[in-house]
Amino acid sequence: MELSEIYSNSYIIGKNNSSPKISFEVFPPKNGDISKLFEELRILKKYNPALVSLTYGASGGLNRFTFEDLKSLRDLDLTLMPHFTCVSMLKSEIENYIISVENLGIENILALRGDIPDYIKADELDFKHANELVEFIMSKTTLSIAVAGYPEGHIESKSLKEDIYYLKMKIDAGASAIFTQLFYDNDKFYRYADSVRSAGINLPIVAGIMPIRSVTQIHKMTGMARISVPNILCDAMEKYPHDIEKFGLEYVTNQCDELLKNHVDGLHFYTLNHSDIVSKILNNIL
Ligand code: FAD
């Protein structure tokens, strides 16, 4: 199912009977053994996900799902959305990749520029920004395209306003939905969504949700992308550094509850390939 269809009837409490749109992000297992991931996805499947997104060399790594992996994942009968980063790839390689994805019968893709490695000069790239990739995918395939959004601004941006200006370029190039960076402060998400709407973008904004497993994980994830950590969460990390999971479960449950009450278009869980905490959160909110 394509993105526009998945999110055509977004969750509006009291206005229709549609259920919340829940989706999951997973990454290729580091040891290459995909069977454990299959187990986790079978557990998560019972929450009837709108889609499952598949990272592509995330966090600067080279770890990627192979086409064989994508073929096997199709057998789980889930709507898949592979991510794709164009940085450090030639136009011809990009063309081959996206056409191969389409030939697998996959309908959606998350189009990203990716982080530019130190050894590459930005002006030597075939595609300098994600809007060019979106345009290219539109010209070569019928894939339905999502793009990344940053409620607190992308780290390279001078301002949120500038970031939203460039987001609009990705949308005008043909994207159908925005999947956001993780955040822990809902007010920042609401302000972002308002600014995106004011810029004339009327597409689904799917909220990135990262369950909390450990203090180290929060520091790593939020530090890399300059994501704010609300005081209440900072205090809890200081008070219970070894037992943050329990507090985190309550925190993220409340965060999701509030987003749903405020008619978020969808919740996209960064699962880190663990179904346990995500299942607990979903059991609390659904
Ligand atoms: P762009 O949209 O190109 O934006 C990058 C920066 O350039 C921004 O500051 C933007 O404001 C600016 N900009 C955009 N267009 C222009 C333009 N035309 N001219 C000038 N400036 C411009 N990374 C991975 O490696 N693998 C993944 O699987 C992955 N998945 C992700 C999933 C989500 C939901 C998100 C939010 C991020 C993900 N990332 C992933 C991280 C992403 O690759 C990085 O944040 C990367 O630095 C930017 O990619 P982008 O597509 O947002 O780039």
pTM score, two decimals? 0.96
Cα first-last separation, the chain:
23
Which atom of ligand 1 has the smallest separation from the CA of 146? 34
Active-site residues, by number, are 25
Mean pLDDT of 174-189: 98
Q: Is 128 exposed, middle or buried (0-12, 13-18, 19+ CB in 10 A)?
A: middle
> What is the CB < 6 Å shell around ligand 1?
55-58, 83, 85, 110, 112-115, 129-131, 148, 154, 156-157, 162-163, 166, 169-170, 179, 181, 208
Q: pLDDT, tens digit, for every residue of 218-261?
A: 999 999 898 999 999 999 999 999 889 999 999 999 999 999 99
Ligand 1 atom 52: residue of nearest CA: 148
Q: Which phi and psi (to 5°) does residue 182 adopt?
A: -65, 155
Dist. CA 156 → ligand 1 center (Å): 9
Which atom of ligand 1 has the smallest separation from the CA of 130? 3
pLDDT at 13: 38
Q: Determine the Cα–Cα distance for residues 274 and 165; give it in Å rounded to an integer.
A: 35
CB 194 within 8 A of CB 138: no
Dist. CA 280 → ligand 1 center (Å): 30
Local confidence band at 57 (pLDDT 50, 70, 90 cut-offs): confident
Contacts of 119 (CB under 8 A, 6+ apart): none
Which atom of ligand 1 has the smallest separation from the CA of 114? 43
